[in-house]
Amino acid sequence: MQLAKLTCINLMLIVVVANLPISASARVLEAALGIEARVNEFVGMPSFYQSIDALDLAYGTHAQAADQAWSGSYWPFYLGSIASPYAVKGFDDIDFLKNLTFYKRRIAELKRNYDTLSTETIDQLSPSEKYDLYLADSNFSLTSAIWKSLSAHQQQVGEVASWEGSCHGWAPASAFVKRPAHLIQMESLDGKYKIPFYPDDVKALTTLLWANSSIQNETLLEGERCHTDDPNKDINTGRVTDLSCMGVNPGVWHLSIVGLIGAQKKSFVMNRANGTQIWNQPIVNYSFTYFNPVSKVPGDLKSSLAALNLARDDLHAFRSREARYFVGVQMSVVYTSESVATHMQKDSDAWDNLVSIDFTYELELDASRRIVGGEWAWYKDKPSSYPGFIWRFESLNPLASTPLDGLTPEPFSAEYTSSHLIPLSVRAARLNAREPEKPQPLAKVVRYLNELAASPEASPSP
């Protein structure tokens, strides 16, 4: 059965799991979906599901993704997303409406002075303003579309929360797009200006592209969005009983991280939170140890396995019906965290903001010692640590695109002149006007800028 889909629109998740009512018990839900089919599909390996002994032998207890996801801003909505002129001093008010007023004055001045912009002004433009200027778009269409979409969002929700942003674009992009490593200088297509694109400017455009691309409709999801910071709990164990707040099933979590990073060195995204806020993070590596869930003594897999005695098990009501054994796991996960945009001219993995988080859980095993479920370490007197949901794109090698890609010349080199791209920028502006919730830059333009910024040495402008 296909996994639930994740649609990310302004970080609002719509989750549909088969036709089961939301009141269905967690155990019935998990049994109905089938852990083997879910895991095989999520990791993209039809025959991956096997015994824990075979997994332990094949993949060990630690692994790292082939490429380290790069740190970048999540481009907070209250600051204007990638339309934020982050290098301008004083543009950091927590109030979105004040920032919107600032933008209206600013964009009017930019349009008025379009033919006489100073070098300093160009240097301090927002990433989307630089993109517009590069395409010789005197209307600053992408920038205007971004602020328009954010204004509509504010009118809908009332207050733009400080955590809202494009982490659903940054997280996967940072894992699958080459790191912009250095400053590039681009000549605007009308020949008027030299425009400096810093690594964070290129990251910004890449983030918006991935956040609003139709690729967001092609996702696989495990877990659900929780809408409360105080979910209902079992009074005896502290176990969360709200279906949407229970997080990823530990068995699915363990199999997914081993199957994607351990077996294929492919990163994926986890929501490290399990409350009202969403923090999408690309996973870099993991390591874990086993412990005996009865004695709590750490050891290898063999010594840590224990027979499941439901009569002495506080969580017996929540165990998989197929469980015969269980084993404890202490896992440390390293993920790439966000950073603040700067005008640093170079970027490298040494400057990434890497964060480690620990998860403790029990895996439930059937008679063949295959993982059939699990439980997080629950506490009656403090919150438990577990990922709210995990997701990846259906393709293991995803590529964000835009509707106008077919009209954009290939390859992006000598053919890319003002006669080609300026008309395309006008069409892109019209497209953004038709889809105001998801303003997008031209994918091939963004990929070209990224290729230049990721190359060992800066390439000349076309």
pLDDT tens-digit map of 68-81: 999 999 999 999 99
pLDDT at 415: 54
Number of residues assigned to the chain: 462
pLDDT at 397: 93
* pTM for the model: 0.88
Q: Are 337 and 284 in contact (CB under 8 A)?
A: no
Burial class, 235, CB count within 10 angstroms (exposed 0-12 / middle 13-18 / buried 19+): exposed
Q: Are 43 and 259 in contact (CB under 8 A)?
A: yes
Contact 65, 403 (CB under 8 A): no
DSSP state of 350: G
Q: Give the single-character DSSP code of 5.
A: P
Is residue 132 within 8 A of residue 201, CB to CB? The reply is no
Per-residue pLDDT at 189: 85
Q: Which residues contact 167 (CB under 8 A, 6 or more apart)?
A: 11, 74, 278, 279, 280, 281, 338
List C-alpha distances in Å: 316 to 274, 371, 375.
Answer: 24, 16, 11
The whole-number pLDDT of residue 9 equals 31
Task: Find out whether the peptide bond into 411 is cis, omega within 30 degrees of 0.
Answer: yes
Instruction: Work out whether the CA dihedral 296, 297, 300, 305 comes out positive or negative.
Output: negative
Residue type, 283: I
SS3 119: helix
Q: Which amino acid is at 309?
A: N
Amino acid at residue number 373: G
Q: What is the separation of C-alpha 80 from the centre of its chain, rounded to a whole number of angstroms?
A: 19
146 close to 82: Cβ distance less than 8 angstroms:
yes
CA distance 337 to 181: 18
| pLDDT (0 to 100) of residue 416 | 57
H/E element, 85: none
**Cβ-contact 222, 251 below 8 angstroms:** no
Sequence-separated (6 or more) residues with CB below 8 Å from residue 73: 86, 165, 170, 200, 203, 204, 207, 338, 339, 340, 341
Q: Can you tell me whether residue 431 is helix, strand or coil?
A: helix
Residue type, 428: A
HSE-up of 304 (CA within 13 Å, CB side)? Answer: 24
* Number of CB atoms found within 10 A of residue 155's CB: 8
The Cα angle at residue 425 between residues 419 and 431, in degrees rounded to 5: 140
pLDDT at 1: 20
Q: What is residue 210's predicted lDDT score, i.e. its pLDDT? A: 97
> 311 to each of 307, 308, 316, 317, 426, how far by Cα in Å?
12, 9, 8, 10, 70
Q: Which structure tokens are listed for 366? A: 């059937």
What is the model's pLDDT at position 421? 67
Task: Name the 3-class secondary structure at 129.
Answer: helix
Helices (H) and strands (E) in the chain, counts: 14, 14
E strand spans, 207-366:
219-223, 269-271, 280-291, 298-299, 306-307, 325-336, 354-365
pLDDT of residue 460: 46
Cross-strand pairs, 195: 186
pLDDT under 70 in the chain at which residues? 1-33, 311, 408-422, 434-436, 457-462
Tokens matching residue 110? 């930019």
CA distance 141 to 92: 23
- What's the half-sphere exposure (Cβ side, CA atoms, 13 Å) at 130? 33
Closest CA to 183 of 412, 425, 347, 306: 347
Cα 286 to Cα 61: distance, rounded to the nearest angstrom: 8
